[in-house]
């Protein structure tokens, strides 16, 4: 991991107690920051992030469409890697229609913060799924705007942090 990511990462970290971003999250954030600088600080668009350039990452991405009046978040795409860990695919659903994920939930609050601030946000979400090996889920939420001005999407780059295996051999 390169040190030059740290200032970028720290600027968008919501909670100082979080683990460092995964390398994939760092690369995606660096690309977003660089693209924003290229367009005079505007918000990059979905077209600025072709899936073929991020093929290894796409299984851990969720793309939300931002709905307005009232505010809601539509699952445009949910990566297969996320579906494997959660055993759920919310593609095509609105966040407000999912029990415990609508207004008032931590996920909703983080997405709402990205809409308000119009900048990336890195934080953790509770893992709710069938795998006992998952300790924590970190998310990088990145705003997108088709016209580089009006946010219409949020990309979530997800990292599943596994628990350390328990060593049952007391001799080590």
Residues 6+ apart with CB under 8 A from 105: none
Domain residue extents for the chain: 5-162
The pLDDT of residue 108 is: 95
The answer on pLDDT for 8 being more than 70 is no
pLDDT for the residue 162: 83
Pairing of strands 72-78, 61-67: antiparallel
Q: Which residue has the tokens 């660096």?
A: 30
The CATH fold of domain 5-162? Beta-Lactamase (3.30.450)
Residue 18 pLDDT = 83
């Amino acid at each position: 991991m390169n040190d030059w990511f740290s200032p970028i990462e720290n600027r968008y970290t919501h909670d100082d107690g979080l683990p460092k971003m995964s390398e994939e999250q760092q690369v995606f954030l660096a690309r977003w920051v660089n693209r924003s600088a290229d367009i005079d600080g505007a918000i990059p668009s979905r077209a600025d992030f072709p899936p073929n350039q991020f093929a290894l990452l796409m299984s851990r991405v969720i793309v939300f469409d931002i709905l307005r009046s009232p505010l809601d978040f539509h699952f445009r795409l949910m990566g297969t890697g996320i579906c494997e860990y959660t055993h759920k695919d919310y593609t095509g659903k609105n966040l407000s229609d999912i029990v415990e994920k609508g207004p008032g939930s931590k996920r909703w609050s983080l997405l709402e913060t990205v809409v308000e601030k119009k900048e990336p946000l890195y934080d953790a979400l509770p893992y709710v799924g069938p795998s006992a090996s998952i300790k924590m889920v970190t998310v990088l939420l990145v705003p997108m705007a088709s016209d580089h001005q009006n946010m219409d999407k949020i990309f979530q780059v997800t990292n599943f942090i596994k628990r350390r295996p328990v060593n049952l051999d007391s001799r080590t």
